[in-house]
Amino acid sequence: MRRRNLLISFLAAVTALAGSASLASVEQRVFTDAAGRKVALPEKITRVMAAGPPASVLLYSVAPDRMVGWVREFKDEEKAFIAAPYRDLPVHGRLTGKGDAANMEAVLAMKLDIIFDVGTVNPTYASLADKVQEQTG
């Protein structure tokens, strides 16, 4: 059941990022994430920050033109696998996990539409998501 809910949340997020016509026609989109949090999505999503490395990879795979940056610098051997316009996006740090923490003032200055994350769903990460949502709106 938990895996099914995570899959449904993932598919809804990917659809929203990809700009699905069926979702775009809804006046207000409320997204319920895998932790059960309800988030109102903007009508148009153009500026997206990935919260951690797995989210960066997924976001790059689905909607690279909406990325505002990366959570970490690329190693030289990794750069060959990223298209040039996206390889040069700034590094903003991560909101999840340990190390390379994003500066919240810099995050606010990016004027994001949404912050996107994928991965483990547990009370710790849900609490972190609540905290970030409270800080960033």
Determine the structural domain holding residue 27 and report its residue range: 1-41
Residue 100 falls in which region: left (phi positive, over 0), alpha (psi -120 to 50) or beta: left
What per-residue confidence (pLDDT) applies to 13? 59
- CATH number of the structural domain spanning residue 55: 3.40.50.1980
In a domain, 135, yes or no: no
Contact status, residue 111 vs residue 47, Cβ threshold 8 Å? yes
In a domain, 133, yes or no: no
- pLDDT of 126 above 70: yes
What per-residue confidence (pLDDT) applies to 88? 92
What per-residue confidence (pLDDT) applies to 27? 57
In a domain, 131, yes or no: no
Q: Which long-range contacts (CB under 8 A, 24 or more apart) does 84-88 make?
A: 86/60
**Does 51 share its domain with 35?**
no
In a domain, 87, yes or no: yes
**Does 19 share its domain with 33?**
yes
**Does 14 share its domain with 34?**
yes
Residue 110, burial from CB neighbour count under 10 angstroms (0-12, 13-18, 19+): middle
Contact status, residue 110 vs residue 49, Cβ threshold 8 Å? yes
* Whole-prediction pTM: 0.75
Number of domains in the chain: 2
Per residue in 13-46, pLDDT tens?
554 555 544 444 445 689 898 889 888 888 899 9
**Does 51 share its domain with 83?**
yes
Per residue in 72-99, pLDDT tens?
999 999 999 999 999 999 999 888 767 6
In a domain, 134, yes or no: no
What per-residue confidence (pLDDT) applies to 37? 87
Per the model's pLDDT, the better-predicted residue between 125 and 90 turns out to be 90
